[in-house]
A = this chain, B = another copy of it.
């Protein structure tokens, strides 16, 4: 028994194909009685509705939304910030009967899916910059998050202001400060940035965070040389451990370390504690993001909480609404025990 088509069913029931199609797609085009009659008959003979592949081609609509993540899914899917974002997106898509296709930001091109997805949510600048180009040149709706694409609606938080504030809260004049940053330079491994060329200074949010820190440092009369600024290639535990060790074994050891993510900050905290360093007595630490794990750890991390769930929901809503209106979401400072 092969798969039934709409035509088969029409013949079987002795009505036209249009009527079957309408019964499924446009209830207003036929009487309610006829409609339920047809639907019941379909159920009986095992026809579950029009073939989706054909519908996609015909209607140019698939109910699939592509979520383009900044990097390979491999990295992104286990990142607590990203997965919370995905959670928000999926919640809204579900309400709207849309489906979620995850797309890696280091893919070669969007050609594989651009013809059938209904739109793109782009979470962070894709590692492969060509994707940004391609996204901008195609005509389906795009919403960007944590970065901007000319002419497309975007969702952001004010990274610079948030970073300024958390740094401000942690710093006192005379502090010796280090910064553990993310993808500030294009390096495959954890390292100090020295005077290497910076990566995407204009567009990357981590450079905005750096700007915020710098402002607070300047106000406190503190200078931080580029050999006290680290760059991690990815926001994960492996790189975080490397960075934590490097910075904690550096002489003279900083007494304030500003981290651009909670993952980094938490690992640094663990590392410091196991070295017997007193936090916040000898070392103050700040994070960024406000991930759940940060509130399960003691001492409690000082960090910037951004609601990734809300970000995801807003992004999805914005995409589905079709409006071209960017927005800036709020954040919240959480001053925990790691800055005393």
Contacts and interface: CB of A to CB of B under 8 A. Distances in A.
B103 A101 contact: no
Most buried by B among A100, A115, A237, A293: A115
Interface string A37-64: 0000000000011011110110010111
Given A56-B56, A80-B78, A99-B101, A87 B112 contact: no
Interface in A209-248: 237
Interface of A is mostly: helix
A100 B77 CA distance: 12
Interface string A315-340: 00000000000000000000000000
Given A77-B87, A111-B49, A115-B53, A94 B100 contact: no
A270 interface: yes
Q: What is the total number of copies of this protein in its complex?
A: 2
Interface string A89-114: 01100100101111110000101111
A77 B73 contact: no
Interface residues on A, range: 35 or more
A296 interface: yes
Contacts of A292: 237
A87 B91 contact: no
A84 interface: yes
A220 to B, nearest CB: 32
